[in-house]
């Protein structure tokens, strides 16, 4: 099946998302 793949830059950017606080 499909896998949910995230690259490092995307994950690092998500750190600053309001939902990540």
Given a contact cutoff of 8 angstroms between Cβ atoms, the answer to whether 15 and 8 are in contact is: no
| Smallest distance, other proteins to C-beta of residue 9, A | 9
The dihedral built from the CA positions of residue 2, 12, 14 and 9, taken in this order, carries a sign that is: negative
Q: Which of residues 1-21 bind other proteins (CB under 8 A)?
A: 3-8, 10-12, 14-15, 17, 19-21
Q: Which residues contact 20 (CB under 8 A, 6 or more apart)?
A: 14
Number of residues interacting with other proteins: please give it, by CB under 8 A. Answer: 15
List of residues contacting other proteins (CB under 8 A) = 3-8, 10-12, 14-15, 17, 19-21
């Amino acid at each position: 099946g499909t896998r949910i793949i995230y690259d490092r830059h995307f994950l690092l950017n998500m750190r600053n998302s309001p939902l990540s606080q």
